[in-house]
Amino acid sequence: MDTEQLTQKILDGDRRALARAITLVESGRKDHRAKAGELLSELAKHKRQSLRIGLSGTPGVGKSTFIESFGMMLTGLGLRVAVLAVDPSSARSGGSILGDKTRMERLSRDKNAFIRPSPSQSHLGGVARRSREAVALCEAAGFDVVLIETVGVGQSETVVAEMSDLFLLLLAPAGGDELQGVKRGIMEMADLILVNKADGPLKPVATRTCADYSGALRLLRKRPQDPEGFPKALMVSAVEEHGLDNAWEEMQALTAWRKANGHWDRRRADQACYWFDQEVRQALLARLETPEAKAQMAELARTVSEGGKSPGEAARIMLQALGAA
């Protein structure tokens, strides 16, 4: 299928074409990268936008269960929902289970939902390297909401905030005291903190946890992109599907305020600049993966290990060889 055909099928909402396009942008082959760039440029001309929601949380907090319940609620409202789930890759084999679609059995059968798991590979920050491009493809395909589920690695998982309009942080009851709430990093990136599993015997604990984090959020420095009262902590139960409608109302209110006050467009422009910077850095790092560069690196590493050169001196020689000194 040529680029023109693929572009039109994606614009028409063809799910199979969308899946093929995501496979294309995730490929590392040089000819695939060129075709992917052409495809994304064509789709960008149509300027379609979705509400991008990034979602993070520690493993076991119930991200997949929440996304299924939340996604089913959104499709019940007549919205089209895309889910991009990032699965951790093995440090030993490099493989991934890609089991998130299996966990979301109900949502995967919904005709208004699209679920795509992707491996994180060696990319840090909780998302796959091409997740941003996959989001752009889903927007072009006409989805109203794109949910980006991260690996769930901890406090440094903030890259997803650079590709989303809203950033949700899911926490488990009794996940920490108020001091945990004022830690920098992922906590200060969140727009909404959702205390999940607020049901059954855990509900009183969830209530205390939510109160702790509400208090902690008031101690953080106010951000210019937040109206009064944001960011805030809420309780939800993905299993009993309680609190999901309230969380959606808060998301809509925050989105509407940011659009009305110019923060939405400004944030998207800043994100575009961020990803331009990242693409340049990644391209420079890729130059180290050529056979010639690897051979020179190995030779310089041997010299450094034998004490013939200092690490700094060897690095300067390598950078000069790459033309980056």
pLDDT computed for residue 92 by the predictor: 45
pLDDT computed for residue 301 by the predictor: 94
Question: How far apart are alpha carbons 139 and 89 in whole angstroms?
Answer: 26
- Alpha-carbon Rg for the chain in angstroms: 22
What string of H, E and C letters represents the secondary structure of the chain?
CCHHHHHHHHHCCCHHHHHHHHHHHHCCCHHHHHHHHHHHHHHHCCCCCCEEEEEEECCCCCHHHHHHHHHHHHHHCCCCEEEEEEECCCCCCCCCCCCHHHHCHHHHCCCCEEEEEEECCCCCCCCCCCHHHHHHHHHHCCCCEEEEECCCCCCCCCHHHHCCCEEEEEECCCCCCHHHHCCCCHHHHCCEEEECCCCHHHHHHHHHHHHHHHHHHCCCCCCCCCCCCCCEEEECECCCCECHHHHHHHHHHHHHHHHHCCHHHHHHHHHHHHHHHHHHHHHHHHHHHCHHHHHHHHHHHHHHHCCCCCHHHHHHHHHHHHCCC
pLDDT computed for residue 42 by the predictor: 92
Give the other-Cβ count within 10 Å of 33's Cβ.
Answer: 14
Global confidence as pTM? 0.84
Token pair 């059995």 in the structure block, residue? 105
Q: Listing from the earlier edge strand, what are the strands of the sheet with 166-171?
A: 113-119, 81-87, 145-149, 51-57, 166-171, 192-195, 232-235
pLDDT computed for residue 62 by the predictor: 87
Question: How far apart are alpha carbons 306 and 298 in whole angstroms?
Answer: 12
Work out whether strand 192-195 and strand 51-57 pair parallel, antiparallel, or are unpaired: unpaired
Token pair 């004022």 in the structure block, residue? 182
pLDDT computed for residue 120 by the predictor: 58
Identify whether the C-beta of residue 100 lies closer than 8 Å to the C-beta of residue 64: yes
pLDDT computed for residue 160 by the predictor: 81
Cα–Cα–Cα angle for 201, 207, 212, nearest 5°? Answer: 135
pLDDT by 10s per residue, the chain, length 325: 688 999 999 999 999 999 999 999 888 788 898 999 999 999 999 999 999 999 988 778 888 899 999 999 999 999 999 999 876 544 344 444 455 556 788 998 999 999 998 765 544 444 556 788 999 999 999 999 999 988 655 544 567 888 899 999 998 887 654 445 445 567 778 899 999 999 989 999 999 989 888 888 888 788 899 999 899 999 999 999 999 999 999 999 999 999 999 999 999 999 999 888 988 888 888 888 888 999 999 999 999 999 999 999 999 999 888 876 5
- Indicate the length of the chain as a whole number: 325
Phi, psi (deg, nearest 5) at residue 318: -65, -45
pLDDT computed for residue 215 by the predictor: 85
